Amino acid sequence: MNPESREQFEKEVDKANSVKKLKDKFLDEFFKNKEAQIFEAMKGLPLGDADALNSMHMMLKSMQSLQSEVNTAMNSGNMAAMSLSEELDKPKY
pLDDT values of the chain reduced to their tens digit, one per residue, 93 residues: 788 888 999 999 999 999 999 999 999 999 999 999 999 998 999 988 999 999 999 999 999 999 999 999 999 999 999 998 888 777 766
In a domain, 91, yes or no: no
Specify the number of domains making up the chain: 1
In a domain, 92, yes or no: no
Residue 45 burial (CB count, 10 A): 14
Give residue 88's pLDDT.
Answer: 78
Give residue 56's pLDDT.
Answer: 93
CA distance 59 to 43: 15
**Quick one: 38 exposed, middle or buried, by C-beta within 10 A (0-12, 13-18, 19+)?**
middle
Model-wide pTM > 0.85: no
CA distance 20 to 18: 5
Q: Which domain covers residue 50, as residue numbers? A: 3-86
| Interacting residues of 69 by C-beta distance below 8 A, sequence separation 6+ | none
